[in-house]
Amino acid sequence: MLALPAALAAGASAAWAQRGCPPRDDLYCMELVATPAFPAATGIARLGWVPTPFGVAVTPEGEHLYDLTLTLDGLPDPRTLGPYFTYVAWATTPVLRPMLKLGDVRNGVARVGRVGFNKFLILVSAEPSAAVRDRSGPLVLRGASPSMRLQPHDLPILLAAAGGHAETQSRGDAAHGRKSSDGWVPPPMHPGVPMLPGLMGFRPQATPFLPDPGAAGVASPAIPHRFIRLNDGDTLRLEAGPVTRTILGRSYLMYGFNGQYPGPVVEVAQRATIVVDFVNRTALPTAVHWHGVRLDNRFDGVPHVTQEPVAPGERFVYHVHFPDAGIYWYHPHHREDIQQDLGLYGNLFVRPTDPDYFAPAHRDEILMLDDLLIGEAGLVPYGLEAATHALNGRFGNVLLVNGEPRYELEVRRGEVIRFFLTNASSTRVFNLSFPDARMKIVGSDLGNYEREEWTENVVIAPAERYIVDVRFESAGRVPLVNRVHALDKVFGNFVALVDTLGLVRVARRPARPDLSAGFDHLRENDDVAAEIARYRVHFDRPPDRELELTVRLGDIPFPIDPLVRMDSLYFHPVEWSGTMPEMNWVTTARQVRWVVRDVATGAENDAIDWRFHVGDLVRLRLRNQRHAGHAMQHPIHIHGQRFLVLSVNGVANPNRVWKDTVLLPVGVTAELLVELSNPGRWMLHCHIAEHLSAGMAMVFEVS
C-alpha cells in the first residue's frame, strides 16, 4: 500500500484536526472545498448518527442514513455575488440526480437534515431565495462523501492478481464452486460482482471438514422444529447429532438438535428453572450456551471457562434459570463456525408472568434467520484446524428462515402478528421489511423498549433478537424481504441486492377480534422506563473501561494481502454481503487475529484481566477502530449480564431496552452501562463466529 510522505501526512492530519475532523472520524466527516472564485470559504459536513432502535440506521432499501450538520466559514455576503440573498445546501448523487434540497445555510453551524445515499455530494450555492426548488446560482462549496473513495483498484494490482500463482484448472473449479482434488469446494462467485482471476487458485491452510459421510446411515431426515412447553422443574432431553437436510431439492448431511432443524422451540415461564440433559452425538466436542439468559455461571456452556467440552458420546446436565421474559436462543460455544452453521441452534421463549406485558396480538411467530454456503458440489467445507473466512466471516448464498429457503404464512386481513426474530447466521446482518404492511418495534434482547416505535425495517445483527408487531391490512401477498447494498470492491460500486425470504398470504376474510385500535396506539412501557430511570444518574459519567476493536493481519498471500489493505481507503459501516468470496474464504484464523484491546493497559483478548463485584455498574466504551488493516462491523455479546446502550458516536439513545448484544459498525464508538448482577467468569466477544475463532474474545470475573 502506498504511503504519503511523512511531512505531507502530518500536514494533512493537522489541517483536518483544525477543522474539527480528526482522521479516525473520516468515515463520518467530509471537507467542503471552495470553488476557485471563493477561496476564503471553508466547510465541514459531519455525517451524524441517526437515532435508531437498531445497531445502525438504514432505509428499507438498505442505504445508510446520516444526520447532516454543516459548519461553514468565510462565505461572503451573497448579495455581492449578484441577485442572490441566501445560500442553500444540496445533497445529490455522483450523477447529480436526484438533487435533494437540504435548506438555507450561512456561516456557522446548521443541522440540515438526513441523507440516505450510498455515494453523494454536498453542494452549497448562492440562490435568490430560500424557497427555490432547483439549484441555479453559483456554486461556492462542494464535497464528496467518504464512500466516494471507493474506486476501482489500480491497474497494477489487477494485473498482478490476474497473473497470480493459479493453475487454469484450479481457477475453473473455483469459479464454478466444484470440488477440487484436495477436497475443497470453493465458494461460488457473488452474483453481479466479478472476482479477480488470480485469487482463484488459492486454498485455505487447513484440512477441509464436513460431517463424516459414514454418519449418513444413522442420520434421519430432519423435521421442522417443534414446540416444547416446560414447567418449572421439568427436564428437557437434548441431543445433538447428524441429520439429513433437503434444501432446494438437494440433500445434505448436517447437524440438528433432537433431529430437528432448527432445534426445538422451548417455552418456559419467566422465573422458571429447567434441567437439560444434553448428549453429544456429533463427531466434535461441543457444549450448549444459553444465549442472553442470566443463569448460574456453571451452566453458561463455555468450554474451558465454565466447563470442559462435552466429548462425542458424552453428556452434560445443565440447570437453566430464566429471570427475564422475552426471546433467547441456544447454540454451541465451541467451533460455532462449524457446528452452529450446520444447524445446531434453537429458540427459547420465556413467557412473561405479566399477562399485559405485550400488547394484544392474534398470534406469535418465531423466526430464526440464517444463511448457508453451497457450491455446485455441495456444502463448502469448513477448516478443521482453523476457521476459514477469517476476514469477513462466512456469508452464505442461500438465505433461510426456520431452516427453509422459503417461509410461508397465511393470515386474515387485519391480523396482527407478533414476530420474534433471531439472527443465527455466522456473520450476515439482515435488513428486513414487509412492504405494504405496517410494523412497530416492541422489544429486543432482554425485553421491551421504554416505548413502542413505528419502523419500516428491522436491522438485525448476528445473535440479536427483535420483537415486532406487524398488521397485514390489505388482502393479497406480502413478501418478507432482505434489501441491502453490497460493495463491489473491484470496480468501486454499490450493488443493490433483494432477497425474498418468505411470503405472507393475506386472505380477504377479516381477523377477529379487531385489534386495529390497540395496534395503532404506541404503548409507553412505564414499568420498563421506571426500572431504567433508577440507572439514569450514571448515564453521563466518564467511562470506567474502554475497549477498542481492531485486527492484526499475518502471512496473507500475494495478491490477496495488498487487496485487503487497499480496503483501508474506505470501509462501509456494515459489510452486508460477501462480495469477495475467494479472498475471504482462503484466509484462516491462523493468518488473521481479531483483537479486543484494553485501552488503559494495552492487554488484548485473553490477556485482559478485569475483575468486578456483584452490584457494580460499569460504564463501558466500545470503539471499533476505523484505521485497521481490514475494519469490519462487530456484534459484541456480553455473557450473563445485561446492559443499556447509552449513546452512539455521541448521540444519546432516546429509547432504551436491555440488551446482551450490540452491533458496532466500522468507526463507531458506543457507550454502554453494564449491570453486573451475576457472579462468575463470563465472556465478552464478537459474535461473528469466525472472528471469535480468530481470537476476538476476553473473560472478565464478577465476584
**C-alpha grid cell, residue 206:** 487447513
Residue among 572, 584, 691 at smallest CA distance from 637: 691
Q: 3-class DSSP state for residue 519?
A: helix
**pLDDT value at residue 195:** 66
Q: Per DSSP, what are the bridge partners of residue 143? A: 122
pLDDT digits (tens, 9 = 90+) for 570-591: 889 999 998 888 888 989 999 9
Alpha carbon dihedral 516, 517, 520, 524, in 10-degree steps, equals -130
> Beta strands 493-510 and 66-73: pairing type?
unpaired
Neighbours of 488 (CB within 10 A): 17
Find cell 437434548 and name the residue: 238
420-437 as b/e, with b when 16 or more CB fall inside 10 Å? Answer: bbbbbbbbbbbbbbbeeb
**pLDDT value at residue 191:** 77
With residues binned 3-state (H G I as helix, E B as strand, rest as coil), the percentages for the chain, rounded to 5, are 15, 40, 45
Tell me the average confidence (pLDDT) per consecutive run of 10 residues in the chain, 703 residues long.
33 43 83 92 95 96 96 94 95 93 94 93 96 94 91 53 41 50 81 66 88 79 95 97 93 96 96 98 96 97 96 97 97 96 97 94 97 93 95 95 95 97 98 96 96 97 98 96 90 90 97 95 95 95 96 78 64 90 88 96 97 97 91 96 96 96 97 97 97 97 97
CA distance 197 to 374: 20
Q: Are 621 and 598 in contact (CB under 8 A)?
A: no
Q: Are 389 and 587 in contact (CB under 8 A)?
A: yes
> Beta strands 363-372 and 398-401: pairing type?
antiparallel
**pLDDT value at residue 490:** 75
Q: Are 418 and 404 in contact (CB under 8 A)?
A: no
Q: What are phi and psi of 25, to 5 degrees?
A: -105, 15
Three-state helix/strand/coil letters over 150-196: CCCCCHHHHHHHHCCCCCHHHHHHHHHCCCCCCCCCCCCCCCCCCCC
**pLDDT value at residue 182:** 74
**pLDDT value at residue 177:** 55
Half-sphere exposure of residue 447, counting CA atoms within 13 Å on the CB side? Answer: 26
**pLDDT value at residue 567:** 54
For each of the domains in the chain, give its residue range(s) and CATH number, in order of start: 6-149 (no CATH), 155-201 (no CATH), 212-357 (2.60.40.420), 536-554+591-702 (2.60.40.420)
**pLDDT value at residue 4:** 31
**C-alpha grid cell, residue 586:** 482462503
Cα–Cα distances in Å, from 218 out to 243, 261, 341, 531?
A: 8, 16, 21, 51
